[in-house]
Amino acid sequence: MLRGSLFFRRAAVLLLAALMAAPVVPAAGSCPEGPGGVSPRLTDNANDLIVPEGATYELYGCHTYANSIEILGTLMVKPYDGVNATSGTLVLKGKMI
């Protein structure tokens, strides 16, 4: 059990480091149009996590999505705040990433 916990901590640190190395793009007032003239929208519900290009979104904790996870923009991990035990970590689970 302790070994698995250490694995997830290391994975969270690596994910955080990778996200911090990526340039931060402020969220645009309106999303650029996607294929077919459809504007991609930020979506975070039980089925999907979609962060469109140009958008920035912050999450922490463990999130499970029934369908897919699609990150074209910037996904930030909320830093540890000393209050919430899962802040500073992020685990994403989905059928398709």
State the pLDDT at residue 56. Answer: 94
User: For 25-58, what is each residue's pLDDT tens digit?
Assistant: 444 444 444 555 455 789 999 999 999 999 999 9
pLDDT greater than 50 at residue 97:
yes
Q: List phi, psi (to 5°) of 87.
A: -65, 150
Give dist(CA 50, CA 71) in Å, integer: 6
Mean pLDDT computed over every residue of the chain:
76
User: For 64-87, what is each residue's pLDDT tens digit?
Assistant: 999 999 999 999 999 999 998 999
Give dist(CA 65, CA 67) in Å, integer: 6
Question: Is 0.85 topped by the overall pTM?
Answer: no
